[in-house]
A and B are shown apart, each in its own frame.
Chain A
Amino acid sequence: MESYIEQIRTLAVDLLKSGKVDVVIGYRRGSVPMATVPFMARTPEQAKQLTWDSHCTLNLANYLTNRQEKIGIIAKGCDSRNIVNHIVENKINRDQLHIIGVPCKGMVNPKELQTLLDDEIISCAETGSTLTIASSQAEIKIEREDHLRNNCSLCTHRNPVIYDDLVGEAVEEPVLDDPFKDVNAIEAMDADEKWNYFDDLLDGCIRCYACRNACPLCYCPTCFVDESDPQWVGKGQNDTDIKTFHFLRAFHCAGRCTDCGACEAACPMDIHVRAFTRKLIKDSKELFGWEAGMDISKRPPLDTFAPDDPNDFIK
């Protein structure tokens, strides 16, 4: 990790000094432990604040939409796939970008770490794969591997798929026996059980739209939830409205979602938003053999037509 930080800073400083880019988008330490915030470094001085650790949970591709300047961007595996999405969807030009790829070892789930200690965690330090977390009462050491975010533990694309510079060595890609266990479990339920499952899941949702705002795919100037003529969905805490919002937002991500987990990391209510998008990821794979953001020369399956597209649902 420390070597990653050094390399990221050196690369960023060089890029800014040589004028190759106007800004480097990366992470900076947050004001509380176990958090990083997105950071735009515009001078070599500022670039020295860039950092990297096991808490870079947001997706930086989110900050690329329609930017005009030359940008250096730090990208872990999933970020790089979202950058590919952005390029394919004409939200950014490949020539504008200098991508600093970072092979990712997975990000941890801070909410899970908090459950390990009784008091609030006030510091978290990292050496190699070990994290030391401490509250005012206790201190424990844990392994990063054991406390990964759910999406990171299911991730099979840890290395960036597109980059100009790679920080450190590529990491080994995990092979999963049963990547869609969670989705299958829901599929096995009957209609009412499913309905209740999602009812419970969304019980705490406060409609803050943090999930939408954190998602790099959700870049529409006016989201359908904000449209008022026609108004597709009400503004309140009505269960049907909440479900409508989540259903439609997920569907808009069909064939595009990279399972980066930014939506879940951003949710203040700890809602498993990916329960929706993971079904779409599974279907994209099974119906179209598609994984989002892997190739900048391919359009996503739902905006292309191929004669062999599955159509047995049509009478």
Chain B
Amino acid sequence: MSETKQTKVVSFLCNWCSYGAADLAGVSRMQYPENIRVIRIPCTGRMSPKFVLSAFREGADGVWVSG
């Protein structure tokens, strides 16, 4: 699909936990791989198996759920 071989990991991050951590990581200028594509969800309870499949259907190579 894409010309580059780079893999994409769709990451569902909880607003209060991992999204906060990601934010802090950014503020602290830490490096993390660019294949991580972040989607902020209000809470990991919002997570649904439909999201995981949707991500794959649209061409994600991996899914990471973090609360």
A and B touch in the complex (CB under 8 A): yes
The answer to whether B57 touches A248, judged by C-beta atoms less than 8 angstroms apart, is no
The answer to whether B53 touches A247, judged by C-beta atoms less than 8 angstroms apart, is yes
Name the CB-closest residue of B to A254.
B49
The answer to whether A224 touches B57, judged by C-beta atoms less than 8 angstroms apart, is no
CB distance from B5 to the nearest CB of A (A): 20
**A244 vs B57: C-alpha distance in the bound complex, in angstroms?**
9
Counting residue pairs across A and B whose Cβ atoms lie within 8 Å, the total is 14
**A240 vs B49: C-alpha distance in the bound complex, in angstroms?**
15
The answer to whether B57 touches A240, judged by C-beta atoms less than 8 angstroms apart, is yes
**A68 vs B58: C-alpha distance in the bound complex, in angstroms?**
43
**A224 vs B54: C-alpha distance in the bound complex, in angstroms?**
12
Name the CB-closest residue of B to A240.
B57
**A251 vs B49: C-alpha distance in the bound complex, in angstroms?**
8
Q: Give the chain A neighbours of B54 by CB distance below 8 A.
A: 230, 232
B50 at the interface (CB under 8 A from A): yes
**Contact size range, A:** under 10
Which residues 221-236 of A sit at the B interface, judged by CB distance below 8 A? 224, 230, 232
CB distance from B22 to the nearest CB of A (A): 15
Q: Give the chain A neighbours of B49 by CB distance below 8 A.
A: 247-248, 251
Q: Give the chain B neighbours of A251 by CB distance below 8 A.
A: 49
The answer to whether B53 touches A224, judged by C-beta atoms less than 8 angstroms apart, is no
B47-67 near A? 1/0 per residue, CB < 8 Å: 001100110010000000000
Q: Give the chain B neighbours of A224 by CB distance below 8 A.
A: 50
Q: Give the chain A neighbours of B50 by CB distance below 8 A.
A: 224, 232, 248
**A170 vs B36: C-alpha distance in the bound complex, in angstroms?**
58
**A100 vs B53: C-alpha distance in the bound complex, in angstroms?**
42
Name the CB-closest residue of B to A252.
B49
CB distance from A109 to the nearest CB of B (A): 31
CB distance from B66 to the nearest CB of A (A): 8
Q: Give the chain B neighbours of A240 by CB distance below 8 A.
A: 57
Q: Give the chain A neighbours of B57 by CB distance below 8 A.
A: 240, 244
> Could you list which residues of chain B lie within 8 angstroms of chain A, going by C-beta atoms?
49-50, 53-54, 57
The contact sample of 14 A-B pairs, CB cut-off 8 A, is A224-B50, A230-B54, A232-B50, A232-B53, A232-B54, A240-B57, A244-B53, A244-B57, A247-B49, A247-B53, A248-B49, A248-B50, A248-B53, A251-B49
The 10 closest A-B pairs by CB, nearest first: A232-B50, A251-B49, A244-B53, A248-B49, A240-B57, A224-B50, A232-B54, A248-B50, A248-B53, A247-B53
